Structure 1
């Protein structure tokens, strides 16, 4: 098993990649950060940037000799995900294999499909019901077949961290400055969330404790489970606390117009992809992370109010979108 404290982050400029390299650097790891363009937020002496395209696995391997962990944070845009995800995953597998490193991947709940139970556990069967879910299963199977060691960390919907592109900032709290919250599902159903800085710290703990894992492991990250009503209340409180809205200003919760999306999906590729995954908001689900707790002890968990405040505090001001 590789023992050096050097990690390669593939896709270091993405939402998860940025919090991942920060978390590993903060924990004392030497970080090799791969991205095609200049590294965002540079300046940490523990981070060495490798400016290479993800389609150059051999060059990445040459630039990352000594890395014991490879984190696959490569993530194509949503409308190109089905066309590009497998190829990018193959890059990660090739790089990890040739480095003799453990490959880590942030997973999600797509694998379980529309029949996912209210509580997802380590023994929940994978029954994907969408193309994205099938591809996720294929990615993870390829990791197991192509790498000596792999760890999938399965989590809910991302929120927080730098950048944009999540349900939280693109839809739910997008109009919070106007006092509006838009929720994609019934307000009384559980939905699994993962605060990105917490998830990144969990990656570090699992990388440091991988000797307690089998060669190929899937570990569940519980994150935050919230109904729509609970999330709306938390957003309202946080928005008032950070001055996004007035301390006494009310907020209104409205439903995402799925009917209109259903019509527009025929001409809008992004809405078509969103439509296909709408079941995630209709089926209540939470992730049982007891297994991770047994492995790492205390699982990183920022208090919800603090996490939401930090998320809203970096929202762009009006006109900066």
Structure 2
């Protein structure tokens, strides 16, 4: 197993990948990332070494991973396009590189693996995985391949969390459903049912959690999986309330809360891939989804946590929803 603080972040221009790269640099790691179209490797002012390549190119991934002890696999097709064709080949390239280097693969996980049968109580790491969506089935296969890789030279760390939100817009419900990135918040469009619990995870907290676990990776089993509690919206009002409070304080206008227009999404989904994939996830808003972080707390002693109002304000400001330009987010 390679032992150093050199890491390759795949998906470093995205939300969780970018946050991981930023925090890893701050923690003293040497950070590499892939970028298409570059003539040669280049060290940016932020300290990341950008290397020419694509996550779909196995040789490029293996070359970039040379000498790395960790590979953060945070790459996803933009707008959910090409999931079935791209997601698994990209992971296979990461696995090949990790085996060659004896590296640890870090995967930001989701609840897509689980079907409604798992949501009757707090969701533990070993809950049965019976997905009811295409993305869920792919997520299960991702983890199956990673578990297999952990028996053949690679090591794996998976941190599953609830719906992501953070300062950088991306493929998430916060910036594509509740509010719209780059626009003033005049209304909060909430997709869930009243009194149905939902779980949110602030991207900087997710990154802090994964980096804290990496700092103790010598104590992890070859295939390690943890759940985060994140922000638990027990009655489906806390997230909307936090957005309204922040917007009212910053702009003097309090947005209203309305029900998400599922009917409109249904009409448009045959023509727009992103909307079709969002519609497929509707079941996650119709049943309580809360995760058990007991294993994480037992291992780390705590779970990194940013107060909800603070996290929401940073997210809205970063997305340019508070009358200011979007805050710069490190790639």
TM-score, L = length of structure 1:
0.91
User: What residue number does 1:165 align with?
Assistant: 171
1:127 aligns with 2:130: yes
Q: 1:233 aligns with which of 237, 241, 264?
A: 241
Instruction: Note the 1:7-26 alignment, pairs <5 A.
Output: 7-26=7-26
- Please tell me whether the aligned partners of residues 185 and 247 of structure 2 are also in contact (alpha carbons under 8 angstroms): no
| 8 Å CA contact 2:244, 2:256 repeated in 1 | no
Q: How many corresponding residue pairs?
A: 315
Q: 2:158 aligns to what?
A: 152
Residue 162 of structure 1, CA deviation: 2.4
Distance in 2 between residues matched to 1:238 and 1:111, nearest whole Å: 33
Aligned mates of 1:184, 1:140 — CA distance in 2: 28
- Displacement over 4 Å in runs of 4+: 317-321
Preserved CA contact (<8 Å) 1:212 1:295: no
2:216 aligned to which of 201, 204, 209: 209
Pair 1:101-2:103 in alignment: yes
Q: 1:250 to 1:316 in 2, by over 3 A?
A: closer
Between the aligned partners of 1:60 and 1:132, the Cα distance in structure 2 is 24
Aligned-residue Cα RMSD (Å) equals: 2.2
Q: Which residue of 1 aligns with 2:329?
A: none
Normalising by the residue count of structure 2, what TM-score does the alignment of the two structures yield? Answer: 0.88
Q: Say whether the 8 Å CA contact 1:155–1:221 is kept in structure 2.
A: yes
Deviation, 1:178, is 4.7
Q: Any idea what SS the aligned residue of 1:111 has? A: coil
8 Å Cα contact 1:173/1:235 also seen in 2: no
CA displacement, residues 89-131 of structure 1 (integer Å, 9 cap, x when unaligned): 1121112111210111011001111222241112311111111
Q: Could you say if the C-alpha distance between residues 304 and 320 of structure 1 is closer, same or farther in structure 2, counting changes exceeding 3 Å?
A: closer
5+ residue gaps, structure 2, are 327-331
- What does 1:1-321 correspond to in 2, within 5 Å? 1-36=1-36, 42-45=44-47, 47-77=48-78, 78-117=80-119, 118-147=121-150, 148-174=154-180, 177-226=184-233, 227-241=235-249, 243=250, 245-246=251-252, 249-316=253-320
The CA distance in 1 between the partners of 2:269 and 2:60, in whole Å, is 40
* 5+ residue gaps, structure 1: none
Question: Is the 2:159–2:225 contact (alpha carbons within 8 Å) kept by the matching residues of 1?
Answer: yes
